[in-house]
């Protein structure tokens, strides 16, 4: 197996995005991984609260490797899969990001609320939304019961998800009738 060469420090100036930190965090948790393994882990963890497009999990590690945040290794035989792992620079960037609490407010993009905003019939909309939120609540509770897959903070994230789903169930129960 071969490793890519060291990166020219002058070429290493890139802007780190939330996706960059997702990749760094997943690799910190899982260790060396292929993009496919990152996709599987993201589906089980961060996709519960931050949707990551699968294609991004193939492109972003390459960008981070080019800037020296990850090291890239490729199998020399067989499927010639690519593996990525954190460099010291990647660990330092992740630690620095984790050390500064965010003041960014969450982005709420809810199709049900969008339909409600523009006058959808509340009864059928509320029924549909209640079904969705009850199913997600059951999923979160099941994941908590099984120990919550993923990094150390994942259990707390699932608990936040439970609280949100309970609030959405309360909201749609209360606002589902026409008045």
Q: Can you spell out the DSSP letters for 13-71?
A: -----HHHHHHHHHHHHH-SB-HHHHHHHHHHTGGGTS---TTHHHHHHHHHHHTTSEE
Domains and CATH numbers, the chain: 2-99 (1.10.10.10), 111-175 (no CATH)
Higher local confidence (pLDDT), 116 or 178:
116
pLDDT tens-digit readout, 104-150? 888 888 999 999 999 999 999 999 999 999 999 999 999 999 886 78
* Residue for token pair 């960014």: 104
Mean pLDDT of the chain: 89
pLDDT, position 147: 83
Q: How far apart are CA 171 and CA 153, in angstroms?
A: 27
């Amino acid at each position: 197996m071969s490793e890519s060469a060291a990166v020219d420090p002058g070429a290493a100036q890139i802007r780190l995005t939330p996706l960059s930190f997702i990749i760094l965090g997943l690799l910190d948790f899982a260790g060396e991984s292929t993009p496919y393994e990152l996709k599987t882990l993201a589906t089980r963890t961060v996709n519960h609260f931050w949707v990551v497009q699968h294609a991004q999990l193939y492109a972003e590690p390459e960008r981070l490797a080019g800037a020296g945040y990850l090291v890239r290794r490729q199998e020399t035989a067989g499927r010639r899969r690519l593996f990525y792992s954190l460099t010291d620079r990647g660990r330092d960037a992740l630690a620095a990001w984790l050390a500064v609490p965010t003041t960014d407010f969450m982005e709420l993009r809810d199709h049900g609320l969008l339909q409600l905003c523009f006058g959808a019939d509340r009864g059928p909309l509320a029924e549909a939304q209640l079904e969705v939120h009850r199913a997600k609540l059951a999923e979160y509770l099941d994941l908590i019961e099984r120990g919550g897959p993923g990094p150390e903070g994942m259990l707390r994230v699932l608990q936040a998800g439970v609280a949100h789903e309970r609030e959405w169930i309360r909201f749609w129960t209360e606002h589902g009738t026409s008045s």
